[in-house]
Every structure is written in structure tokens, then in C-alpha cells.
Amino acid sequence: MSPVSVVSQAPLLRVAGLQKFFPIKKGFLRRTVGHVRAVDGVNFHIDEGETLGLVGESGCGKTTTARCILRAIEPSGGEIFMRRGDGSVVEMGGLRPAELRGLRREMQMIFQDPFTSLNPRMTLLDLVGEPLLVHGMKSRREREERVADLLRRVGLRPEYMRRFPHAFSGGERQRIGIARALALQPRLVVADEPVSALDVSVQAQILNLLFDLQADFRLTYLFVAHDLSVVRYISNRVAVMYVGRMVELAETEELFKTPKHPYTAALLSAVPEPDPRTRSRRIVLQGEVANPAAPPSGCYFHPRCPHAIDVCRKETPAWLEISRGHFVGCHRARELQLAGVE
Amino acid sequence: MAVDPRAPLLSVRNLKTYFAQDEGTVKAVDGVNLDLYPRATLGIVGESGCGKSVTARSILRIVDRPGRIVEGEIQFRRPADNGGAGLTVDLARLDANGTEMRSIRGAEIALIFQEPMSSFSPVHTVGNQIIEAILLHQKISRRDARDRAIDMLRRVGVSSPEERVDQLSNQLSGGLRQRAMIAMALSCHPTLLIADEPTTALDVTTQTQILELMRRLQREDGMAIMLITHDLGVVAEMATDVAVMYLGRVVEQAPVDGIFHEPRHPYTRALLRSIPRMRARSRERLMPIAGAVPHPYDRPTGCPFHPRCAEFMAGRCDRETPTLKPVGDRHAVSCFLYE
């Protein structure tokens, strides 16, 4: 086991200059006529045992970023460093397939939709036990014991092991998906919108479960979501993306209370509060999210930004650390006073 | 009969819409009572399977087979022509495909729903679909209808409406499509707009734009809105009154402030406690509701919420079914704790 102190250690995951471009193909010869810059130069790290929330609207590149990290898709550029259990740091792009396979069991994913992400023809035992079998646990008895233990840990009764997923509710199916993800004792768990398909009353159960499992198994989460109140609840730090770029990254409380990017401020103000007495004046952004195939010049947010000035139209803002651990990509970050939550 | 202007525009009484299937009968709506006043916004909140959408479809008489209204009244006050008193009709008794229902549906009661992708035909231009809706209900020329469609698109904030009117719906973004759907719904000046999860499929900054738009159009046109959603934030933002539904029944109805600041029903209270909040501190435990919404074939006896209720009274809640009873000014709750 790795030592408890993490202060002096390299981060569990470090992403530097990550890019993913998808070609746009047209015509009979399917010639590439351009690229969708889905992820365009993203930098961040995640320390062991923490949760980084990755937020943004549809098409901002948050899911593509997550998929690049898991090597479900091949990045177009940049580097992804992972610290292994023995303390060595590897860059995933330079790994041979066999080495990557070994690394894969340390990274697992929890999916959004518990109705389509579980094979309906497999029992819970097979679903949760499959990763164990694939990674060499040949004895069925041993697997059953391990599956029973995992089911208990996620709040399901081990007696249900021989049932099929259709017999379970959405929240229970999400628990099955979580048990499957935890089967190989991963160190990094990427959760992509894990509660957004669930009923409101069930979301809290799953969020609390993720919280408890993190403490029990010393998990590190990359939590991808669009719902800011959910992200606030689960995350130590939050990163905000807009059209393939990261615009702000800070500790959760700091980001919510003193956002430094106008997009973060608009996003925070847009979330309707479940309290009629706080109906406040919202920042209503004009227009729509820019097209990542033909992004605007300069700062991608400038056409919708209420604070845009000349330089925003011309130059891409630098990614600067405005205070300790608080990063922002905005030309006017130091002068703007933006309202947060509370 | 003289009509009090403060009388409800829509009054639903003991509405029951059942789906008879081989596996058993699904009581999707099982005794719903609702009142919606002119110019007001009634939020209907609830989780999946609570019957909120089927209630809306029952009002419009577009419940899919084998669903059927088996009991109850849907009293709708039709708009007054030439200053005369509006007459009230029971929509539940009308022929779903008859002349009267067809003259109400789309013209006096309009519907916008969640999926702006699937609500437009992909092979007709957006303009033609709005024009068709106008011509169906009004005796004006096609040219005038086209002008009105362009006007409506401009009113809902579609830029260059003269060009957009000739585009196909797949050429519009999600936000623009939702605006176009609102333009179509409001083109005949309905007195009641039913919005079923109108912003659920949209991003949060687009949601802000659409909610703002709905509020402005309501101020300008004065229609009442029935806003169906699972999002308590959207309801708090938009509604004047709120009905909370659970498994086919209204468990609590009150003015919006009463629901959020003096909730009475254990379900409403638990729901409000369980949701993560923007203003909460991060990494603090939530207080979830135990269990899950039961499957519709496995409806609990008595109060439908009793298996998940923290204040469940054995012998009472599992045997008898509570009904909505007033507990304060315009505040009604369906729970034995208040009897």
C-alpha cells in the first residue's frame, strides 16, 4: 500500500496540454475538411484521495477529456501521467498495449445510464465478477465471495447475486455499476454524470455512497457532471470547461464564492435555487455556445461575455494562477469583481 | 351564468387515468385534484412515474392507448368571446377527437414538451409547421399566417426570423428549436400553456434564457402556465403555486412559498432535504429518502408513500388512503398526520 501522506508525492494523475481533435469528413472521398477541436490544451492534476469535479455544458469536451484519460480514445496531443501503486510515474502515451492493460485495472469508469450500461443477459454475479475473471480470478467460489462482499459494500443484498439487472430500480442498477467498477480495486474512478439519470430522491443515496466508498477504499474521483449543485457536494476542487478549453480551476468553496471567470459566474447564477425567496436577477447570457469546429478568435467566450474588451477578441488568454491553486484563463481576471454563490 | 374572474381557469377533480395491460392495471393518475388560476403558474413536481405527464395528456385528451380516463372531471373555462362570460366545459366528457376538443387543443390549451428534437417534423420547414397550426384554428390567408409565424419567431427571440422560417428543424440548435416550439404553441394565443419539462434537455445557460422568455411572454399575453418538472429549482423560480405528486396522486398543493418554507407532507419535506444545494457547504452528507419509487404494478396499499415515510403510522397509513385536506390558506395536504 502507498503511504498515507500524499503531500510530498506526485499527483495520482497529471494531464498536460491534452488535445483531442475529431476530423470532419466530407464528400465522396471522405476528405478531411476541418477538425472539431473537442479538447484543446487542457491542464490539470488530481491528488490521491481527492475528487475533481469537471463541469461544463454539452459539447464543452468534459466527456472527451475523461475518455482520453481512460484511453477509450486516443488523444491527438498532450501527455497524461499516472502514478502507479509502486510510486513510479508513467506517461500513458508511451506505453505498449500490454503495459496499458496493466494500468487499466487501476482506472475504472462509472457510467451515466444504469439502464443501458449493464448487459441484460448477465446476472449480477457475472456482471460484477466479469472483471475479476478477465484479470485472472479463475475460481468461481472465490469470485462469488468477492462479488458478495462488493454487493454488500454498495448496499445491495448478496442473495440477489443470481438475478438479472431488469429486476432492479435505477438507483440499484447504478449501485451494480459501481460494484463492477470497484471489483478490481481501482485507484482512479472516472464517473461520467453518475446521478443525472436518477430520480431526485435517489440521487442523494448514490452521492452519499460514492462519498463513503471514497473514504473506505481511498479512491480518487474524476467526477464529470453538468449539475453544479451535485458537483459542489462531491468535489474538493472544480474545473470549468468551455468549448474544449479549461476556463477556471479552483478549490470548490473558492470557485463558488469568488469565481474569476465571467463564464463561471454566469453558470453559477444560472442554476435555479430551490427557494422562491432567492429568485435573483440572473446573468442571462446572449447567444449560444460557440461551434468547436469553427471557434471564434481570441477568447472563445468573448462573443457572449458581458465584460469583453478588444484584447479578448484578438488574443487567447493565458492560463494563470491568480492565487494559490486558483487558475483562470481570462484577460480581465485580476480587475473583474464577479458575484458567486453566497 | 356569471363567472367570477378569480375562479379557476382549470379545475381537475378526482381524475383517474388508468392503463389496462396484460400484467395488470397501471393507475398512472389515481384521483388527482388541481386548480389553476388565470395568469398564474402552477408547478407540478414529482419523480418518474408520479403521473405528472399523464395528467397533462389527460387534460389535452391525448393519452396514448391503452390509457383511458376512467373517472373524474376536468373543468376548463373557455375564453369569453366579445366580452361575454366564458363557458366552462368538462374536457373529460368531450369526444377526444370531436370538433369541440379539437378547437380547444392547440388553440386554447397549448403544449410544449421536453424533446425539441422530436416535436418538429424533420421534413417540413419550421415555418410551415407553425403556419399550419395557425391555419388550423384561424380563418386567415396563408400569407398572413406566414407573417404571423415570422412575428412569433421574432417575439421568442429567434434572430433573422425571415430566414429561419424556411429552415428545417435540424438546422436549428436545441435552444432555438425550443424557442420555435414555444412560438408554435403561442401562435394562437392560448389561455393555458402546458409546459412538460420544457428545459430538461437544455444546458443551464440556455435554460435561463428559455425560462426568462416564458416569463416575458406570460406578462405580455397573460396566459396561465402549467409547468411540469422534476427540478425543484425551476419550480421555485417560476411557479406561483405548486402541486407535489407521488404515484398518481397530489400529496400537497400550496402557494410556492408554502411548499418551500412550510412544507407539510413528509414526502415534500424529505425531497427538499435530500437535494444537493448550491449554497450548501461542499462535502457534507446529504439526507436521502430511503428506498425507491415503487414499480407501478406494485403499488403499496393505503398511502402510496408509506413504505418510504419516516413518520409512517402502522395500521393507519398502510390501510387507509388519505385525501387532500386544507391545512392553511390555499394549502392542502394528503396525510394522516394532519387529520
CA distance B205 to chain A (A): 6
In a domain, B70, yes or no: yes
Which residues in chain B touch residue A211, judged by CB atoms under 8 angstroms apart? Answer: 283, 285
**Over the stretch B225-234, which tens digit does the pLDDT of each residue have?**
999 999 999 9
CA distance B227 to chain A (A): 15
CB–CB contacts below 8 A, A to B: 154
Of the candidates A172, A201, A271, which has its C-beta nearest B289's C-beta? A201
In a domain, B163, yes or no: no
Which residues in chain B touch residue A303, judged by CB atoms under 8 angstroms apart? Answer: none
For cell 421555485, name the residue. Answer: B236
Q: Which pLDDT value is given to residue B116? A: 61
Which residues in chain B touch residue A262, judged by CB atoms under 8 angstroms apart? Answer: none
User: Minimal Cα distance from A264: which residue of B?
Assistant: B205
CATH number of the domain to which B30 belongs:
3.40.50.300
In a domain, B95, yes or no: yes
Which residue stretches of chain B have pLDDT < 70?
1-5, 81-85, 116-117
Cβ contact B288–A201 (<8 Å): yes
Cβ contact B274–A289 (<8 Å): no
Tell me the ipTM for this assembly: 0.85
User: Minimal Cα distance from B257: which residue of A?
Assistant: A276
List beta partners, residue A138.
none
In a domain, B306, yes or no: yes
Cβ contact B260–A275 (<8 Å): yes
* CA dihedral over A208, A105, A41, A300, signed as positive or negative: negative
In a domain, B183, yes or no: no
Q: Model's pTM, two decimal places?
A: 0.89
CA angle A51, A229, A227 (to 5 degrees): 85
Of the candidates A201, A233, A282, which has its C-beta nearest B47's C-beta? A201
Written as tens digits, the pLDDT of chain A (342 aa) is 444 444 457 899 999 999 999 998 888 888 888 889 999 999 999 999 999 999 998 889 999 999 999 999 999 999 999 998 888 899 998 888 888 888 888 999 998 887 788 999 999 999 999 999 988 888 999 999 999 999 999 999 999 999 999 888 889 999 999 999 999 999 999 999 999 888 888 899 999 999 999 999 999 999 999 999 999 999 999 999 999 999 999 999 999 999 999 999 999 999 998 999 887 678 888 888 888 888 899 999 999 999 999 999 999 999 999 999 999 999 999 999 999 987
Task: Extract the C-alpha cell encoding B141.
Answer: 390567408
In a domain, B170, yes or no: no
B68 lies in which domain range?
10-108+190-338
In a domain, B258, yes or no: yes
In a domain, B313, yes or no: yes
Instruction: Count the domains in chain B.
Output: 1
CA distance A295 to chain B (A): 16
Question: In the structure, how many helices (H) and strands (E) does chain A have?
Answer: 10, 12
**Over the stretch B317-332, which tens digit does the pLDDT of each residue have?**
999 999 999 999 899 9
One-letter amino acid for residue B306 of the chain: H
CA distance B91 to chain A (A): 31
The full set of domain ranges for chain A reads: 121-185
Instruction: Tell whether A76 lies on the interface with B, counting CB pairs under 8 A.
Output: no
Show which of residues 29-88 on chain B sit within 8 Å of chain A, judged by CB atoms: 47-48
Q: Which pLDDT value is given to residue A133? A: 92
